[in-house]
Amino acid sequence: MQDVLHALFFVTAFGAVFLAVIAAEYHYVRRSGQTGIYHPRETVANLAAGFSYKIVDGVAVALFIQAFYLWVYQFGLQWNPSVSVLSILALIVFIDFCFYINHYMMHKVRWFWSGHITHHSSEHMNFSTALRQNFTFAFSGSWVLWWIPAALLGFDKNWVLLAIEGNLVYQFFLHTEQVRKLGILEKVMNTPSHHRVHHGSNPAQIDRNFGGIFIFWDKLFGTFRDENDAGEIKYGVNHMPTKPYNPFHLQVHGWVEMAQDVWKFKDLRILYKHPEWVNEQYPHHEQPLSEGVAAEKL
């Protein structure tokens, strides 16, 4: 019960910080005369999705993710290093590497993408976009790739929780167009510039810049794309949700469409192939149009 209360406290405390930052950005955008940065209905949907995600995720971490972590821990190296600058830095870097792998798989495996597509379906880039998450993440299983390697090494679960939450807090501040290039930091750290590319849906932008805090993973594994080389960035996904302002639909439509494809084609490979595989394997298959795209077609 104490872990659940801690999770709810975290949601409340950082939720207040995030809302304050969103309000400040919105005020700055309005005062500077910028348009097309915030869309009222989309922003409300982002906030609603973020709230439901964090509540479910916080309770899931408290109720079963940490319990599974402790169960796996007993079979690992049980390193459990003492707290020091070096061990904390090692944990931060290792957790970010695990996030890179987890994030990469969320883009490459349809099952995982069905939950992650929510985050990419926003057509605007602002701080509220960071909260556009999916409450099904805790049940998709991809968190195993992020949490469990640390259990096998032997990091304390409480320190791992702090490292993961800190990683997510850092990523919140990547979702903005108000911060341009950050000089030498661009070489090592993930920045708003790098993350804008990640949210793009044009060919040069898809499946790029998966890092959380650090960008050198992408440079090391060949998934990096500089914003200057990415062309004009178009936010969103190729198959937009049909109800783009309905928070519940935003979080379940990926799963529904995946299940429909499996049922239609009787092909379980759809579950683990990359998201566009079904369209390549069955070229006459088409996804439904979103409300906005459908209006453009008329």
Domain boundaries, the chain: 2-178
Confirm if 164 and 146 have CB atoms less than 8 A apart: yes
Sign of CA dihedral 25, 53, 102, 95: positive
> Would you say the pTM of this structure is higher than 0.95?
no
Q: What is the DSSP string of 12-40?
A: HHHHHHHHHHHHHHHHHHHHTT--SS--H
Which H/E stretch holds residue 95? helix 85-108
Please, which residues have CB within 8 angstroms of residue 117's CB and are 6 or more apart in sequence?
237, 253, 254, 275
Q: Judging by beta carbons within 10 Å of its beta carbon (0-12, 13-18, 19+), is residue 263 exposed, middle or buried?
A: exposed
Confirm if 242 and 253 have CB atoms less than 8 A apart: yes
- Please tell me the predicted confidence (pLDDT) of residue 285: 61
Alpha-carbon distance of 105 to 53, in angstroms, equals 20
Provide the token pair at 203.
Answer: 């060919």
Give the Å distances, CA to CA, from 149 to 210, 213, 219, 266: 18, 18, 22, 34
| Helices (runs of H) and strands (runs of E) counted in the chain | 13, 0
pLDDT per residue, tens digit, the chain (298 aa), is 555 566 666 667 778 899 999 999 999 999 999 999 999 999 999 999 999 998 899 889 888 999 999 999 999 999 988 889 999 999 999 999 999 999 999 999 999 999 999 999 999 999 999 999 999 999 999 999 999 999 999 999 999 999 999 999 999 999 999 999 999 999 999 999 999 999 999 999 999 999 999 999 999 999 999 999 999 999 999 889 999 999 999 999 999 999 999 999 999 999 999 999 999 999 876 655 554 444 333 3
Q: Which residue type sits at 44?
A: V
Provide the token pair at 59.
Answer: 């309770």
- Please tell me the predicted confidence (pLDDT) of residue 13: 73
- Please tell me the predicted confidence (pLDDT) of residue 292: 46
For residue 156, what is the DSSP state?
-
**Strand partners for 235:** 200
Alpha-carbon distance of 270 to 266, in angstroms, equals 9
> Where would I find the H helices in 173-225?
192-198, 216-221
